[in-house]
């Protein structure tokens, strides 16, 4: 209900704000952390991660071949220095995988 001097009621304003927040929350992508070990490359190697033809992230290989990268849920392709392209899947939350670049 509009009051001539105050504009829309606080209830209507609050309802609109809540609806906007709910809409934004439902359209956000599910994000997970993909972690594991890469075999066949030295620490410090950077492996590009692709979703289709688009590069979406880099995996930086740490000590003992360990890595961790945040990705939206889905299936990705990793490009190894030797030309192989293993596929990895990121799930909502944390998931583990091993990548073989030998």
32-64 pLDDT per residue, tens: 889 999 999 999 999 999 999 999 999 999 999
Domain range list for the chain = 31-100
- Running DSSP on this structure, what letter comes out for residue 42? -
Tens of pLDDT, residues 12-29: 666 666 665 555 544 455
**Cα dist. 42→16, 23, 27, 57, 81 in Å?**
53, 44, 39, 19, 11
Domain 31-100: CATH superfamily is: Carboxypeptidase-like, regulatory domain (2.60.40.1120)
pLDDT tens-place string over residues 60-94: 999 999 999 999 989 999 999 999 999 999 988 88
- 3-class state of residue 45 by DSSP: coil
């Amino acid at each position: 209900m509009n009051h001539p001097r105050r504009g829309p009621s606080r209830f209507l304003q609050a309802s609109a704000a809540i609806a906007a927040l709910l809409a934004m929350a439902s359209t956000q992508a599910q994000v997970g952390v993909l972690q594991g070990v890469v075999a066949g490359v030295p620490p410090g190697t950077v492996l590009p991660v692709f979703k289709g033809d688009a590069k979406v992230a880099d995996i930086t290989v740490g000590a003992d071949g360990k890595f961790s990268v945040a990705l939206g849920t889905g299936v990705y392709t990793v490009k190894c220095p030797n030309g192989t392209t293993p596929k990895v899947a990121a799930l909502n939350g944390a998931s583990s995988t091993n990548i073989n670049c030998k």
